[in-house]
Structure 1
């Protein structure tokens, strides 16, 4: 414990030396819907926390709905006295915030690793999955890819407007993959990439995607799954901030335009043993087939995680590489689970179903549980799309059906935790019902 405190104190001390103008640090964590919550601490108090002073926030902050409200979930929120829960600082995450009007720092906090972790905190859910795999001698290597849209900073009656091309001042309203779009929006994209690197995130490939104003950023492969999910979460926050600084809005909304492709969260995962051997490549890749079968079996029951809101379900079955059935294939972007071409050392799956606004900790936890289940069950998968274009199994395409499919699935309750599954499903059910409690203009137009 002393060593842990001294490491954190050294990190705080170095940060203050390198950033003497920073007076406050945002201590942040991701809630169930994937939004950051936390507190802004004076830099002097951060040193005390690093030295061992208690860091407490309300336990129920994790349960916030999409709009920030609290729902009655079991005895939480309204019958438990809204207790505090301990958090800890995550070493290595104290970084400068460059997109705000004043110099700030930020640092991740979490309940995992404390004496009483919050069972339904997303980071804790992933931590338990990773710890169990490690005890089984399974070591994931993970890389995220995130798609997002740039919009004009100003909305038009609440609706997004196309981003303005900074060279021509025309709307970037043509869907294309042209490399020139990276140059035209180079200033904001370069700032996004550099800001991410300042956060410690390994940015690799930047792609102009098909949608107007749509881009994709790839991250480096990591042998630390938790850190890979941290990167995805932190990138989403910094990218939105940088976009506003440049006069744009950046959004990871799953389906902002019905007529254009949605934005996805693609996750590459390979599995290794303690000696560095790729477990999926052994025995003529038989474990790969078992792992794929496990992912596909659990996929219909994980839809509230992969498509966490009403809009995310709109992305499924739309234009370009968005499946409506659980499927797999070699080098096939129409598949939910794609096997990219690679040598045996780098053999991996690419899970393509999650929306860009899904919670990265929970997405990775669900994928890893699918792989784990497949390796244990040792079942053969359905035919790949390369052999049968109609191959696939149905999954729910509406939130309440998805919640019912998830809540009583025994493997998920066992491997993700029954308390988490119950809390998460009720959170999604209540969010969905709250979303329905508004009459929009279309409803008046159709039925008035």
Structure 2
């Protein structure tokens, strides 16, 4: 989509004129674990950057672990002097922030499109995949759907509490898709959509999901794959902020409750050529079958991306609509890859495996790499769940096994980049080991 302003300087000046009360703007980017990092710039300094002044941040910010620390990874972090790397402002993303206590703006930044892009930056990884597809005349159209939980703002003994509305003070225990749940939490849910819309995110449909305090908000289909992932990242940030403003805590944690459904990141992908023809629908839908087969083939080798932390692996095979094997099906929500019923123009894949707290840039990059692999190799998929409920391909169920499977697969290394795969896998391995480096109360109960 074309930015509304002819250049960055015009965008910044228009923002200042429209929001004279804003003195600072957060310049933000997503790191490997899916957290935003960046700097808070005075708005007059931002105008200088827009006019051409250099913008640099430490390269290793991208490598931060899930708790914000650095892990020794190859020659990075502790052996490279922590160098700066150039960043650029992303046009069209300078927007006001409504959830902070003072007037503030925010704007996305990235190393992609600079003279020295960071190979392992998530947005650069996706940009590389999209550019490769563009050179082949393939244009993905993408829509994200994100599930999340609302909790009470205060934890109790370190554990989340069910949310209470402002009307009855009762816990949220209404049935799945019950419209009364949307009414009870309408003030916070509606402002979440409004805040996302202010960020340029075309968020729309709100659904009450099965878990207590669990909801889903959908986005419009987007012809710009990078912007579609930007939307998902920005939505997570604004949703958390609005929830706190209303006395709640919003979380995209994959599996917050063992006895309730997990939260997923569902990604709809269709492919078009320059003339606007749906490539998946051509030749009796043969490309669709190849694309599904490619996604299934690479899925077991991309699990560190789809399940980005220890908790995310708890989601698979638990309760409803969470597959325990790589599978596909027509209008089947138990499958990892669902083919929604649609006309040929809108034929698409819905990839349902990723946890809601996965990195959206990397999830989309992995899905597209799988599709490309299937198209190139002419792969045929296994039987759909509609024909065989036992059909499926095993995938790793823990982080260390998943990292080993990802590191050793040539199509993943080629599609996502050798340097990225090395850095990402080591980052996940180190995070997992750090998480396990604590004796829990349960261990004392079991083994003391």
* 1:19-418 pair list within 5 angstroms: 19-418=19-418
Q: CA contact under 8 A between 2:31 and 2:37: conserved in structure 1?
A: yes
How much has 1:441 moved relative to structure 2?
Answer: 1.5
Q: Distance in 2 between matches of 1:145 and 1:305?
A: 17
Q: CA contact under 8 A between 1:413 and 1:421: conserved in structure 2?
A: yes
SS, match of residue 393 in structure 1: coil
Task: Give the 3 Å change call, closer, same or farther, for CA 5–17 of structure 1 in structure 2.
Answer: closer
How much has 1:5 moved relative to structure 2?
Answer: 11
Matched positions, count: 446
How much has 1:214 moved relative to structure 2?
Answer: 0.2
Q: Deviations over 1:290-330 (max 9, x none)?
A: 11000000000000000000000001111111001000000
Q: Distance in 2 between matches of 1:283 and 1:56?
A: 48
- Greater Cα shift, 339-348 or 160-169: 160-169
Q: CA contact under 8 A between 1:5 and 1:50: conserved in structure 2?
A: no
Q: CA contact under 8 A between 1:5 and 1:52: conserved in structure 2?
A: no
How much has 1:218 moved relative to structure 2?
Answer: 0.3
Q: Distance in 2 between matches of 1:176 and 1:136?
A: 43
How much has 1:177 moved relative to structure 2?
Answer: 2.3
Match of 1:443 in 2: 443
Q: Distance in 1 between matches of 2:364 and 2:262?
A: 20
How much has 1:93 moved relative to structure 2?
Answer: 0.2
How much has 1:171 moved relative to structure 2?
Answer: 1.3
Q: CA contact under 8 A between 1:89 and 1:109: conserved in structure 2?
A: yes
Q: Deviations over 1:360-402 (max 9, x none)?
A: 0000000000011111111110000000000001000000000
Q: Could you tell me the TM-score, scaled by structure 1's length?
A: 0.98
Q: Distance in 2 between matches of 1:6 and 1:111?
A: 21
* 1:426-441 pair list within 5 angstroms: 426-441=426-441
Q: Deviations over 1:161-213 (max 9, x none)?
A: 00012211011145532111001100000110100000111112100000000
**Unmatched tracts of structure 1, length 5 or more:** none
Q: Deviations over 1:396-438 (max 9, x none)?
A: 0000000000011101111110000000000000000000011
Q: Distance in 2 between matches of 1:113 and 1:158?
A: 42
Q: CA contact under 8 A between 2:5 and 2:92: conserved in structure 1?
A: no
Q: CA contact under 8 A between 1:97 and 1:104: conserved in structure 2?
A: yes
How much has 1:4 moved relative to structure 2?
Answer: 12
How much has 1:50 moved relative to structure 2?
Answer: 0.3
Q: CA contact under 8 A between 2:33 and 2:359: conserved in structure 1?
A: yes
Q: Distance in 2 between matches of 1:444 and 1:242?
A: 39
- Greater Cα shift, 60-69 or 435-444: 435-444
Q: CA contact under 8 A between 1:291 and 1:370: conserved in structure 2?
A: yes
Q: Could you tell me the TM-score, scaled by structure 2's length?
A: 0.98
Q: Distance in 2 between matches of 1:235 and 1:51?
A: 28
Q: Distance in 1 between matches of 2:338 and 2:166?
A: 36
- Greater Cα shift, 145-154 or 371-380: 371-380
**Unmatched tracts of structure 2, length 5 or more:** none
Q: Distance in 1 between matches of 2:5 and 2:330?
A: 47
Q: CA contact under 8 A between 1:148 and 1:251: conserved in structure 2?
A: yes
Q: Distance in 2 between matches of 1:353 and 1:71?
A: 28
How much has 1:6 moved relative to structure 2?
Answer: 6.4
Q: Distance in 1 between matches of 2:97 and 2:262?
A: 29
Q: Distance in 2 between matches of 1:107 and 1:375?
A: 36
Spell out structure 1 runs of 4+ moving beyond 2 A. 3-6, 173-177
